[in-house]
Structure 1
Amino acid sequence: MQATMNDAPRPGWATEARATLSLSGPIVLTNLSQMALALTEALLLGRLGTDALAAGMLATSLHFALIAPGFGLALAAAPLQAMARGSARLPGGAGRGWLHNMRRATRASLWAAGLAILPAWVLLWNAAALLRALGQDPVLAALAQDYTRAAMFGMPGFCAFIALRGFLAAMERPAAAMWVAIGAVALNLPVAWLLIFPAGLGMLGAGLSITIAETAMLLALLVLIRRDRVFRRFRLLGRVWRLNLDWLGRVATVGLPIAGSMLLEIGIFSAAALAMGWFGAVAAAAHAIAIQTASTTFMVPMGIGQAATARVGLAVGAGRMADAARAGWVAIGLGAGFMAAMAAMLLLAAGFIARGFLDPMDPRAAEVAALGATLLAVAGVFQLADGVQVVAAGALRGLADTRVPMVFAAIGYWVLGLPAGLALAFWAGLGPAGIWMGLATGLAVVAVLMLVRWRRLSAAG
């Protein structure tokens, strides 16, 4: 294995683009598959009625906000794993021990994510009280709690899956995670339908199906890694009960700012969801349509950004900063190009997309679809900025630069984006659309700041 890592050719721009697309393709499909779990359930809950769709939006917003710390710490494995593997390319055996370091990074990220999940469980178990305290309708809050209490037990499987996916990306063999994620969607659709409708569990059934799917994803990926001759040699879970405080500290150093950035970003959309709840069930349901659609398109640049983390990290570990800079810029260009196309699609097909989420027999369907189409049009405007910022963040993560991007997220989302959205919604009288305009403003600011940061650090290298 060592021989294959030394003296690797240095890619040009076209070669780098092909390598990034090759790596990001399975990662993107994995992300889309994971998003399809939530999208499928939103479509099914929409058939239960406007209240169920609105409650599902509140529940998933809270769920994703509280999983952010564990998710971020699991993501910290990826740059550490990539740098460890890249160090095998250093001359003179300077990177000796890289295999053990990949194993240590994986184990430490699993420990860190697991510890971060525990307080999230406490809050999710009491979601109804938390949502009522945040001004939400008691009926919607109670329905949302049915979901969160069932879905929260899938968090460990999801975070562990993310850490192992980072290992596969560092090894430049992400296809196994892709097939597992696609299989989870195929499993979740019939299971969710059976639990929600024939079993009559409604919101509880939707949450339970997510736990089943995410646990199955982890188990299936572990089986595939165990059966692979190369991967088996890493013994990723060997003595996993032994806590390495040094590597836990490294994961925390890289991962806590990632978790903070994710919490700030997810939190701003969760705050927007709560603000939508103040406008009533129609606004909350319309927001659910827009956020599910925008989140789906977001999965592609997010996957490109995760590939950028691996490509940049591999180059940094090998001491090739020019290659790292090239990898980052190629990924940013690919992400921007895709999201420009998605912006055009949302602007042209907003009404058609919104109607697809709703039961036409619902008496409020027309009102929800009209508002949902308006929000989707606003989402189309910020697509490009959203794509650029997430890919640039992924490239910076490959440099292990995570603290400053967290500050950028705080400024863009919470200092500018949320206040602007609330001002436009309430003081300017724009209503729900004003909140989304504020989100667009915050994303644009973060995108510019991330690009400037990447340009400076990649040039300095």
Structure 2
Amino acid sequence: MKLSVYTKEFPENIKLAYPIILGMLGHTLVAIVDNIMVGRLGPTELAAVSLANSFVFIGMSLGIGFSTAITPLIAEADGENSLVKGRSVFHHGLVLCTFLGLLLFGIIYAAKPLIVLMGQPKEVVEMAKPFLDLVAFSLIPLIIFQGYKQFADGKSETKYAMWANLLCNVVHLFLNIVLIYGVWIFPKMGMLGAAVGTVISRVVMVVYMHYALKSKAKFQPYFEGFSFKAIGKNMTKKIVDLGLPSAFQMFFEVALFTGAIWLCGKIGTTSQAANQIALTLATFTFMFVSGLSVAGMVRVGNQKGIGDFRKLQIVARSIFLLAIIIQGAFAVLFVLLHKVLPVFFVNEQVQQTAEVLSIASQLILIAAVFQLSDGIQVVVLGALRGLQDVKIPMYITFVAYWIIGFPISIYLGLYTELKAIGVWIGLLSGLTAAAIFLYLRFNRLSNQHIILNS
């Protein structure tokens, strides 16, 4: 098939994806701003934020992964032009996201004592505990927001979440400045100021999203008729059956990177701080392909609802190609700027900075290599979610990350001289395995649908 068949889909892909990408970048900037501002306080503070966030990221991955079940169901209902089905998905999704946010906060709060048992530096652990309490609480508004976001994305209305995230960042940046450093009448809270800013900005984000959607005529019918009595077993089961495997897919990947944070913490504070710098940069570029993944999920879900599986395959592959182009460009930038980028995250007057910069620059080179693997695996996962195929991909990601990737990270990181570099080689191995096997799964499944419907 000619390349032009796929490239002509690029404008539609980009039109749908760019607000999602900007919104996700806004979401990621919350963590980046925290890391840059807290990093100026010193490597110990940055390592403490990294350790606390490693717990929160696990909860966040489960919540966000679960919420993605809403999008393909809404997209399918939209393809079928069914308001009743779409409204039911929306109401059930919001209730489930609210419950999950509360549950995850409770679990993380109860699990906080585990930090002491993880072999991390004592001074890092003591700083991380109060920070963790606040940022874990911010999961409640964040996951409720995801319920609204995934609904709007499924309706191909992706700009609302973008504006919500941008507002969140403005509020967060302001609060960070005044609360970390004690500007004007505000108390000087240090790294805890960043946590308070995160909580408040995420509450603002969900409030904005609710009223922005409810005020639009297009969405008003979906807000009507809400009742807890209407929350039924069948739709709940449908969302849970899609949401739980999706949650575990995301959990397996995020937990892999969380494991890398813990391993680097066992190696030393400088390795953990360097890992956080490289991970922050890799996460930033990952948001571009994550946006494409959502666009692929929506467009594939629409085509599934319509029943055009040949078009579905073309749309999905056009997303894959676009992801390769974008991540390839970032890989080149990482190679060219690997010694420059870490400087933005450290205070050169603080001790051990030179060692942090040296380790981080090497990790960024490895991150450059896995840009392609990471990009491919996430967009293929999006297409598979659009097909509502989630269980087999869940097993694939478990094997790729925890049977292949993490054991390599443990061995090379703790038992060789590679240390933090070895940990990241393990990450690269897991992501590459996931990309290959997930693509083979999509190719087989989409071909089966074409044969069955031809």
Class of the TM-score when normalised by the shorter of the 2 chains = over 0.9
SS in 2 for 1:82: helix
Deviation at 1:226, TM superposition (A): 1.4
| 1:458 alignment partner AA | S
Name the residue aligned to 1:331: 319
1:22-75 Cα distance to aligned partner (Å, 9 max, x none): 000100111100000110010010011111100111111110112222222211
Change (3 A) 1:137 1:285: same
Name the residue aligned to 2:168: 184
Gaps of 5+ in 1: 1-10, 89-97
Q: Is contact 1:128-1:138 (8 Å) kept?
A: no
- Quick check: 1:41 aligned with 2:34? yes
Percentage of matched positions with identical amino acids: 28
* Alignment of structure 1 residues 11-410 onto 2, 5 Å: 13-88=6-81, 98-126=82-110, 128-198=112-182, 199-235=187-223, 238-239=226-227, 242-410=230-398
Deviation at 1:156, TM superposition (A): 2.2
Change (3 A) 1:265 1:360: same
SS in 2 for 1:229: coil
Deviation at 1:241, TM superposition (A): 6.9
Name the residue aligned to 1:419: 407
SS in 1 for 2:340: helix
| Corresponding residue to 1:431 among 414, 419, 425 | 419
Deviation at 1:194, TM superposition (A): 1.4
| CA distance, structure 1, for counterparts of residue 86 and residue 141 of structure 2 | 20
1:155-203 Cα distance to aligned partner (Å, 9 max, x none): 1221122222222222222112111111111111011121222022223
| 2:403 alignment partner AA | V
| CA distance, structure 1, for counterparts of residue 225 and residue 263 of structure 2 | 43
Deviation at 1:208, TM superposition (A): 1.5
Deviation at 1:15, TM superposition (A): 4.4
Deviation at 1:242, TM superposition (A): 4.4
SS in 2 for 1:351: coil
Deviation at 1:322, TM superposition (A): 1.3
Change (3 A) 1:319 1:154: same
| 1:349 alignment partner AA | L
| CA distance, structure 2, for counterparts of residue 182 and residue 261 of structure 1 | 27
Runs (4 or more) in structure 1 with deviation over 3 Å come to 11-15
Deviation at 1:450, TM superposition (A): 0.8
Change (3 A) 1:325 1:56: same
Change (3 A) 1:240 1:71: farther
Q: Is contact 2:104-2:139 (8 Å) kept?
A: no
Tell me the TM-score normalised to structure 1 length: 0.93
Q: Is contact 2:39-2:46 (8 Å) kept?
A: yes
Deviation at 1:113, TM superposition (A): 2.6
| CA distance, structure 2, for counterparts of residue 169 and residue 353 of structure 1 | 33
| CA distance, structure 2, for counterparts of residue 317 and residue 124 of structure 1 | 38
SS in 2 for 1:234: helix
Deviation at 1:425, TM superposition (A): 1.7
Change (3 A) 1:241 1:307: farther
Deviation at 1:142, TM superposition (A): 2.2
| CA distance, structure 2, for counterparts of residue 242 and residue 264 of structure 1 | 33
Deviation at 1:153, TM superposition (A): 2.1
Deviation at 1:280, TM superposition (A): 1.4
Deviation at 1:237, TM superposition (A): 7.9
| CA distance, structure 2, for counterparts of residue 130 and residue 203 of structure 1 | 21
Name the residue aligned to 1:4: none
Q: Aligned residues, how many?
A: 442
Deviation at 1:243, TM superposition (A): 2.5
Q: Is contact 2:97-2:146 (8 Å) kept?
A: no
| 2:116 alignment partner AA | R
Q: Is contact 1:420-1:438 (8 Å) kept?
A: yes
- Quick check: 1:444 aligned with 2:432? yes
SS in 1 for 2:338: helix
Deviation at 1:229, TM superposition (A): 1.3
Name the residue aligned to 2:452: none
Deviation at 1:138, TM superposition (A): 2.6
SS in 1 for 2:138: helix
Change (3 A) 1:195 1:124: farther
Deviation at 1:392, TM superposition (A): 0.3
| 1:130 alignment partner AA | L
1:86-131 Cα distance to aligned partner (Å, 9 max, x none): 112xxxxxxxxx1121121122222223333344223432555211
SS in 1 for 2:389: coil
Greater Cα shift, 33-42 or 356-365:
356-365
For the aligned residues, what is the CA RMSD? 1.6
Change (3 A) 1:346 1:441: same
Deviation at 1:137, TM superposition (A): 2.1
Greater Cα shift, 309-318 or 422-431:
422-431
